Amino acid sequence: MLVFYKIFVADFYRVHFGFFLFVTLILFGAGDPGQLLAFHTGVIYAILTNSFPLTITICLWFVYLLKSLLFIREKLKEEAQQFLCYSFSSLSKTARMTYWFTTMVLINMPILLYAITCALVGFYSKNIIIALLLIIVIIAFISAGSFVADRFFYRRITVQTAKENKFYFANTLPISYLFIGMKYLLAEQKLAYGICKLFSYLLIIGMYHIFHDLQNNVALAAIIVTSFVIAHVVLLFAQFRFEYQSLAILRNLPYTDNFRFYAALKRNFLLFIPEVIWLFSRFKFFESGILALYMLSLSIFLYQSISLVGLKLDSFVKFTFFLFLFLVIIIPIGYLAVISIILLCTAWAIFKLKTQPY
């Protein structure tokens, strides 16, 4: 909420400071100070007892609401607010509406306070129907404004995605914490993704051509799977950097550590779906399950290990190279399921220790 306050509320009052100063001078500086209370009380009674002043007041409130919505729309168009497309789009609609409603209340605080004052005077003077009408109108305005602001926000996300993504499939992915990383992948790393998948295909052909007599050997398959994951280090690094920089604000939102870890695990699974399909089409179900678990465990271990080496690709590549050599040595020994569990638990431990590394 603090982000919304700084971007929309504080900026709105800063930009319109001159307007508020002018209105304040007109309302409180033009007349005799001794007559101000009587003057404003008379205006409020006129609003409560006469339909014409009431209509004018509601119209002025509506104009103020439109002004605030236009301001929000223009702010959302700014490049500086692009991070909102990634950060807040993963929230549920209810959570977003709560943020927008609070923002609209703060922006419309002057007319809200005036409406409450009019309503209190109305209740005191027995003009209960008009007082209730004013309360209903201002709540309806703020609620409608929240809905419109959310539509502006969603349209901004759609436009941003359409500009970045020329793939129809990417545009059909839901906007959620899970899929927003995949949207970024298809938007910014299409070529790298294609090269990685081509390399995986060449690995399968090359390794089985060289070791044609070991085609059903699980250890060889595990080494190929290790090569799959190593081939994707650039994508894993980019996904990690995207999450911890572009989505950094999400760490201040009510997402638990468990949720974020499982989301990263699911994104890695989506990244390796073609390889998982190949495994289950090539080996028995149990063996395929062990190999898929190993691939997922190794990928999430590498993903979380980036927080140990820092956001330096050359350091991460060196770490990955030595890890590959180590795994090639121990994989023929066996116990692939044990290795997978160790990698998975280590990844979880790194994540808990380095929850907010940047």
174 in a structural domain: no
125 in a structural domain: yes
Domain termination site, one of 164, 193, 220 = 164
156 and 190 share one domain:
no
Domain termination site, one of 133, 164, 195 = 164
188 and 295 share one domain:
yes
210 and 341 share one domain:
yes
Give helix 93-107 / helix 128-164 axis angle, nearest 10°.
Answer: 120
**Total count of domains within the chain:** 2
236 and 335 share one domain:
yes
169 in a structural domain: no
**Tokens 């550590």 correspond to what residue?**
257
pLDDT at 187: 64
197 and 344 share one domain:
yes
269 and 237 share one domain:
yes
195 and 141 share one domain:
no
Angstrom distance (rounded) from CA 188 to CA 178: 17
119 and 212 share one domain:
no
* Two tokens, residue 83: 């991070």
CB under 8 Å to 229, separation ≥6 — which residues? Answer: 272, 295, 298, 299, 302
137 in a structural domain: yes
312 and 191 share one domain:
yes
Provide the residue range defining the domain that includes 34.
2-164
326 in a structural domain: yes
Angstrom distance (rounded) from CA 101 to CA 65: 13
Q: What is the pLDDT along the chain (358 residues), one digit of tens a residue?
A: 667 777 778 888 888 777 778 777 777 765 666 666 777 788 888 888 888 888 888 888 888 888 888 888 888 777 666 666 656 666 677 877 888 888 889 988 988 988 898 889 888 888 888 889 889 988 998 998 888 888 877 776 655 554 444 444 444 444 455 566 666 666 666 667 777 777 777 777 776 666 666 667 778 888 888 888 888 887 888 778 777 776 665 666 666 777 778 888 888 888 888 888 888 888 888 888 998 899 999 999 988 888 888 777 778 888 888 888 888 888 888 788 899 999 999 999 988 887 554 4
Angstrom distance (rounded) from CA 165 to CA 188: 8
Angstrom distance (rounded) from CA 311 to CA 238: 9
332 and 190 share one domain:
yes
202 and 278 share one domain:
yes
25 in a structural domain: yes
User: What phi and psi values does residue 78 have, to the nearest 5 degrees?
Assistant: -70, 140
pLDDT at 232: 82
CA-based nearest residue to 71, from 152, 143, 144:
152
248 in a structural domain: yes
198 and 100 share one domain:
no
132 in a structural domain: yes
Domain termination site, one of 164, 197, 222 = 164
